[in-house]
């Protein structure tokens, strides 16, 4: 029996003697048994148990060589680092890390709590077990262990001492080679590529210079960004788990590095589990159950991490300069970008490098394994090449779907591909009492759905063009003011900060916020204040004021009713405005389609498409209806400087719908007209004056002038809600002036003008009525002289409205 005063690599009998000599955990006469259970690449792990009582412990010894290669020598000091870090993590994350009983620097061995009743997570996932509490518990571990060891929270001098203590150069060198270097370049000849995917790897990984450059950036960030004390190897083999509890262990690779490395490793390994389930589970229901859980776990971890991070940040921040919401959000955005990049490098290294993932190697069907590896590599490239776009759970869901669809287009787990046209531009979520919109500032790079409840957020969404287009703004305003009315009635309205963006006085709701309002006069006063606040967000779009006035008319018409009944009527009116917009656009499309013929070339400016309405659009409605009839239009789309609504939105939605669309700069349309390639121009509008002058996105009048010169019909598509008979001419339309940065900075890495240069940036221009061939409404086409035509249009509308009221009074459906 050794006295264990000199290092040697222990075998199972040695471990029993070692435990009896070093720790008074078992009875002196306990019948002990031992088994080596490690399946990692570095250390030797033994379970020692009392065959009589069943009590057990774990002994972990650091070897001097990598288990998978005698040629790779390692410092045994990593055992000290691991033991120290487990103690630190145990203090930060109580209950989520096993207890360390002893560390022996001579034998480089640690005796620790046995995670009895738990299974290695990778083993459980390969058997398609589901762990419902894992997202909640691993997100707590990640936030507490990572954020609490940053300069944001820790005393800077104490933290610097920890950085020195946990410098881990040899194991970092392994990561730098096996994770970042070799998988991309194979400079040591140790990559182990599955033969059926060798050509795919050569083309998509080895042959992609942009990918190599991004991985190089990630490697240097890993080496130089001492952000937080990270686990350094947090995969499903470093987690022991059961249905109720999670243990994180094996932090021998720990050092101060970027937080996203740990978070990304967790995400990547869950997608490995998805790939295994997709390839090996035959029963459709069981495959959907397990794979669905894997995907949902990834999304939950992303959401929970962000939520808990922000909460703990606010509670624990000590650095004075970090006490800023703007800094916090920027800091978090960088973490999320790192997370995506490092999730990608983990996927690539486990497929291409020497240390494979068992989730994939146990797939026996060669074709299914090859498909799984291609999906993972496709996902990885998206993550790495577009790191900064991965900020939300939805971004990961989109990337996973795209990767699966690229390799297995008929995979039943993902269903048919959704386009932008499958989402509601603007809608009411009755369950959450929220305005739901597509954030159009994020298009076309990603589709992000916003659920807005606060009036300030709704105001911002309109002003910042997250929702835009006159009809969509009108619907958003109707839903927004209904939500405000509901809050006023229930006493939940909060006006704090509400008018900050507008530079106005707050709406005055604070005084009575917190108590329900039942008095009609008080309700009306506060309703009008909230309405005026929303109306200030975009002064040019007449649909905004039109919708708000229509909603106020409902309040006035129900003066004798209770406030609760008025709120219910406002709810119905908001939905009616939304449904009417769909019918209006359909009708405009039918009238517009009568003006063109199959095969025509059509020009449009800005976005008066589905993204500017609830459905179909105004200027694009003839195009969509023509596509349904097989007209095969050739659509030309102005980019629409400076905000590029044509490039970002119109071309995106028309292309998604399968139309033949060509993008061009705003100064190119005259050239196409001269060549005879454009037979008609269709544009939307934000306001039409009594004489037919029309305000629309800046650049519209330039297109109208060119159309007049070359004899091309120029049509404005205008719901009657945008025709303002109280505005005599275009000279009376207030034109919104926007920030100069939209011209100088928005689409450039650096400002594209010299400092101090003045900028003229009106949001709209006015196209004179003499340049407009016709104005297409839901009640027909108005031709010059427009004031007379509008009278006929509004007479038709009046007749329609009268008939509808009569039918409603008689309860006729």
- Separation of alpha carbons 412 and 393, rounded Å: 21
pLDDT of residue 515: 85
CB of 265 within 8 A of CB of 346?
A: yes
- Separation of alpha carbons 397 and 403, rounded Å: 10
pLDDT of residue 69: 67
The radius of gyration of the chain from alpha carbons, rounded to an integer in Å, stands at 32
pLDDT of residue 419: 79
**Which residues have a Cβ under 8 Å from the Cβ of 539 and sit 6 or more positions away?**
734, 736
**Which residues have a Cβ under 8 Å from the Cβ of 481 and sit 6 or more positions away?**
527, 530, 531, 534, 547, 548, 551, 570, 574
Alpha-carbon distances of 579 from 428, 458, 575, 595, 653, rounded to whole Å: 12, 20, 6, 26, 21
- Separation of alpha carbons 468 and 476, rounded Å: 9
How many secondary structure helices (H) and strands (E) does the chain include? 27, 25
Spans of the chain below 70 pLDDT: 1, 39-40, 68-70, 494-514, 812-813
- Separation of alpha carbons 547 and 690, rounded Å: 19
Phi, psi of 536 (to 5 degrees): -75, -5
Residue 50, beta-bridge partner list: 32
pLDDT of residue 43: 84
- Separation of alpha carbons 537 and 458, rounded Å: 9
Model confidence pTM above 0.75? no
Phi, psi of 426 (to 5 degrees): -150, 135
Residue 57, beta-bridge partner list: 48, 113
pLDDT of residue 499: 36
Question: Which of 305, 331, 326 lies closest to 151, judged by CA?
Answer: 331
- Separation of alpha carbons 21 and 2, rounded Å: 10
Alpha helices of 192-283 — where are they, by DSSP H? 198-201, 209-224, 259-280
- Separation of alpha carbons 42 and 235, rounded Å: 14
Please count the other Cβ atoms lying within 10 Å of the Cβ belonging to residue 451: 13
Angle at 637 between CA 632 and CA 643, to 5 degrees: 150
- Separation of alpha carbons 40 and 714, rounded Å: 71
Per-residue pLDDT tens digits for 68-121: 666 777 778 888 888 999 999 999 999 999 999 999 999 999 999 999 999 999
Phi, psi of 286 (to 5 degrees): -70, -40
pLDDT of residue 692: 98
- Separation of alpha carbons 90 and 577, rounded Å: 57
pLDDT of residue 415: 78
Give the containing element (helix H, strand E) for 2. none
Q: What is the DSSP letter of 647?
A: I
Alpha-carbon distances of 266 from 220, 576, 591, rounded to whole Å: 21, 46, 55
Please count the other Cβ atoms lying within 10 Å of the Cβ belonging to residue 29: 7
């Amino acid at each position: 029996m050794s006295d264990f005063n000199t290092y040697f690599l222990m075998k199972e009998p040695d471990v029993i003697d070692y435990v009896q000599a070093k720790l008074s955990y078992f009875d002196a006469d306990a019948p002990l048994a031992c088994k080596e259970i490690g399946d990692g690449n570095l250390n030797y792990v033994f379970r020692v148990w009392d065959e009589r009582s069943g009590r057990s412990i774990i002994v972990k010894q650091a070897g001097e060589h990598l288990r998978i290669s005698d040629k790779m020598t390692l410092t045994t000091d990593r055992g000290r680092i691991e033991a120290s870090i487990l103690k630190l993590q145990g203090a930060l994350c109580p209950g989520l890390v096993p207890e360390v009983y002893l560390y022996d620097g001579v034998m480089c061995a640690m005796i620790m709590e046995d995670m009895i009743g738990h299974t290695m997570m990778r083993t459980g996932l390969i058997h398609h077990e589901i762990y419902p509490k894992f997202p909640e518990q691993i997100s707590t571990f990640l936030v507490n262990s990572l954020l609490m060891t940053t300069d944001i929270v820790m005393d800077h001098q104490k933290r610097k001492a920890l950085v020195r203590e946990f410098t881990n150069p040899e194991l970092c060198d392994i990561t730098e080679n096996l994770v970042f270097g070799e998988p991309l370049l194979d400079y040591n000849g140790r990559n182990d590529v599955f033969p059926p995917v060798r050509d795919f790897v050569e083309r998509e990984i080895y042959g992609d210079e942009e990918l190599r450059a991004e991985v190089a950036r990630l490697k240097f960030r890993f080496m130089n960004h001492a952000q937080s004390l990270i686990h350094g190897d947090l995969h499903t083999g470093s987690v022991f788990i059961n249905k109720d509890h999670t243990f994180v262990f094996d932090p021998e690779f720990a050092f101060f590095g970027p937080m996203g490395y740990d978070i990304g490793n967790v995400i990547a390994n869950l997608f490995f589990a998805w790939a295994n389930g997709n390839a090996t589970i035959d029963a459709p229901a069981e495959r959907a159950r397990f794979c669905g859980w894997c995907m949902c776990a990834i999304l939950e971890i992303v959401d929970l991490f962000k939520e808990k991070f922000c909460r703990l940040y606010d509670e624990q921040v000590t650095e004075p300069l970090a006490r800023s919401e703007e800094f916090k959000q920027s800091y978090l955005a960088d973490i999320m970008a790192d997370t995506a990049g490092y999730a990608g490098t983990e996927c690539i290294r486990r497929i291409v490098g020497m240390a494979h993932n068992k989730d994939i190697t146990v797939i026996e069907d060669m074709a299914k394994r090859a498909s799984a590896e291609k999906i993972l590599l496709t996902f990885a490239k998206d993550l790495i090449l577009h790191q900064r776009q991965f900020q939300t759970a939805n971004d990961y869901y989109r990337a996973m779907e795209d990767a699966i669809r690229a390799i297995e287009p008929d995979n039943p787990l993902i269903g048919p591909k959704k386009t932008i046209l499958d989402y509601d531009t603007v809608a009411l979520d009755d369950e959450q009492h929220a305005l739901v919109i597509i954030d159009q500032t994020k298009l076309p790079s990603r589709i992000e759905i916003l659920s807005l409840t606060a009036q300030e957020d709704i105001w911002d969404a309109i002003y910042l063009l997250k929702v835009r287009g006159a009809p969509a703004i009108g619907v958003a305003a109707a839903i927004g003011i209904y939500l405000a009315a509901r809050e006023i009635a229930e006493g939940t309205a909060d006006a704090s900060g509400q008018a900050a963006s507008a530079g106005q006085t707050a709406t005055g709701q604070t005084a009575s916020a917190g108590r329900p309002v039942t008095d009609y006069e008080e309700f009306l006063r506060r309703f009008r204040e909230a309405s005026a606040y929303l109306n200030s967000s975009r002064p040019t779009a007449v649909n905004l004021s039109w919708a708000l006035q229509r909603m106020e008319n409902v309040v006035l018409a129900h003066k004798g009713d209770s406030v609760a009944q008025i709120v219910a009527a406002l709810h119905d009116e908001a939905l009616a405005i939304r449904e009417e917009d769909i019918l209006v656009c359909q009708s405009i499309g039918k009238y517009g389609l009568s003006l063109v013929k199959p095969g025509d070339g059509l020009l449009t400016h800005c976005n008066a498409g589905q993204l500017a309405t609830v459905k179909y659009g105004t200027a694009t409605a003839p195009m969509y209806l023509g596509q349904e009839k097989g007209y095969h239009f050739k659509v030309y789309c102005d980019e629409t400087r400076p905000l590029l609504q044509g490039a970002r939105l119109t071309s995106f939605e028309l292309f998604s719908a399968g139309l033949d669309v060509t993008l061009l700069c705003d100064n190119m349309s005259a050239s196409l007209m001269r060549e005879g390639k454009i037979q008609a121009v269709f544009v939307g509008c934000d306001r039409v004056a009594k004489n037919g002058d029309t305000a629309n996105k800046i650049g519209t009048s330039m297109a109208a002038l060119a159309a007049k010169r070359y004899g091309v019909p120029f049509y404005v598509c205008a719901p009657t809600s945008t025709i303002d008979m109280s505005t005599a001419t275009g000279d009376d339309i207030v034109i919104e002036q926007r920030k100069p940065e939209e011209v100088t900075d928005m689409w450039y890495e650096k400002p594209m003008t010299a400092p101090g240069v003045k900028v003229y940036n009106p949001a709209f221009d006015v196209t004179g009525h003499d340049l407009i061939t016709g104005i297409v409404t839901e009640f027909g086409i108005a031709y010059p002289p427009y004031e007379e035509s509008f009278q006929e249009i509004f007479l038709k509308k009046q007749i329609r409205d009268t008939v509808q009221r009569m039918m409603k009074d008689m309860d006729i459906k």
